Amino acid sequence: MVRRDALSGTDVEVVFDAPTKDWSTRRNAPTVDLYLYDLREDLRRRESGIADVRMNGRVTDRAQPPRWFKLSYLVTAWTQRPEDEHRLLSALMRCFLSSDRIPPELLAGGLADVKVSIPYTCALPPPEDRALSDVWSALGGELKPSLDLVVFAPFDIDREILIGPPVLEGAKLRMSSDETSETRTGPMPDDPASAETPGGSEVAANVEGGTKSTTSRSGMRVKRGHKPGGATR
């Protein structure tokens, strides 16, 4: 993108080296350096769960959403004259500010496989926990005009999630009966406490070895026992 839109028709070299003091002393040609100095996950873009992958309206696969990372580049221009460096920085700013994402035709490798747009920001104030002066101090060089380019790139973890085959038919209801089974709708006959009579439930009770039937207030016939000798009570 830099070579095509910002440096087209020039002999300026594009590198990704760390701009240390020793490196800068060895440069003898106009150079644009895009140094990746920070790499961290963008937690605001993290998604959880499982996403359905559809083809022709059917779910063909399931996958976890990719993780998004912030790639911070320190963009600097290196020439023999400060005026030329300023012109290069101006051309770089025009290139980056003309859009807010990398052109899809320039994506390659894993970024092209993900098939999502790759946004970026240019020359925004750095976060409070990271100052560009600290980056230059860590590199051991002198502070130099630069652009802070942050590219938001997805990283596909590509975890395989097995799914079942697609449903091609509607639901069907099948009913069957067991001819050998017997269904009872009434009380069990061997239960004396639940035998039905015209007056209600019949309750049998043995009293002193004999039986006698009476009818209770609730319509229940009760059998009472006979006393020895034929006496009944």
Q: For position 79, what pLDDT does the model report?
A: 94
Rounded distance, CA 228 to CA 207, Å?
A: 11
- Greater model confidence, 221 or 15: 15
The Cα–Cα gap between 209 and 230 comes to 11
Q: How far is CA 140 from CA 10, 23, 146, 149, in A?
A: 30, 11, 16, 21
Residue 119's contacts (CB-CB under 8 Å, 6 or more residues apart) are: 100, 101, 151, 152
In whole angstroms, give the CA distance from residue 75 to residue 79: 14
Question: In this model, does residue 180 exceed pLDDT 60?
Answer: no
Q: Would 181 be classed as within a structural domain?
A: no
Co-location of 89 and 25 in the same domain: yes
Of 109, 138, 155, the position where a domain reaches its end is 155
Tell whether 136 and 194 lie within a shared domain: no
Are 78 and 21 in a shared domain?
yes
Find the mean pLDDT for residues 101-107. Answer: 92
Closest by alpha carbon to 206, among 195, 219, 222, 187? 222
Question: Mind listing the pLDDT tens digit for each residue in 131-171?
Answer: 788 888 889 878 899 999 999 999 876 666 666 776 778 88
Same-domain status, 148 and 40: yes
Answer yes or no: is 45 within a domain: yes
24 in the same domain as 104: yes
Phi, psi of 196 (to 5 degrees): -85, 145
Decide if 13 is inside a domain.
yes
pLDDT value of position 159: 63
pLDDT recorded at residue 173: 85
pLDDT score of 210 more than 90: no
d(CA 201, CA 215): 10
Q: What share of the chain has pLDDT > 90, as a percent?
A: 39
Residue 196 is predicted with a pLDDT of: 46
pLDDT at 55 over 60: yes
My answer on whether 150 and 212 are in the same domain is no
Whether residues 41 and 122 share a domain: the answer is yes
Mean pLDDT of the chain: 77
Residues 111 and 221 in one domain: no
Q: Which of 42-46, 52-56, 219-223 has the highest mean pLDDT?
A: 42-46
HEC assignment per residue over 6-21: HCCCCCCEEECCCCCH
Per DSSP, 2 falls in state I
Q: What is the pLDDT of residue 71?
A: 95
Instruction: Please give the full DSSP string across 97-127, using - where no structure is assigned.
Output: HT-SEE-GGG--THHHHHT--EEEEESPPPP
Residue 211 lies inside a defined structural domain of this protein: yes
Whole-prediction pTM: 0.63
Report pLDDT digits (tens) over 63-78: 777 889 999 999 999 9
Which of 50-59, 77-86, 196-205, 206-215 is the most confident on average?
77-86
Is residue 179 left, alpha or beta, with left meaning phi > 0 and alpha meaning psi from -120 to 50? alpha
Decide if 170 is inside a domain.
Answer: no
| Residue finishing a domain among 129, 155, 181 | 155
pLDDT for position 141:
79
Residue 62 lies in a domain: yes
Any domain includes 171: no
pLDDT of residue 82: 93
* Confidence at residue 67, expressed as pLDDT on a 0 to 100 scale: 86
Tell me, yes or no, whether 122 and 37 share the same domain: yes
Residues 145 and 198 in one domain: no
Q: Identify the domain containing residue 197 by its residue range.
A: 190-233
Token pair, residue 100, equals 């807010």
Q: Are residues 147 and 199 in the same domain?
A: no
How many domains does the structure of the chain reveal? 2
Same domain for 53 and 128: yes
Q: Please report the pLDDT score of residue 162 as a whole number.
A: 67
Q: Is residue 179 part of a domain?
A: no
| Phi and psi torsions of 144, nearest 5° | -140, 145
Boundary residue ending a domain (99, 133, 155): 155
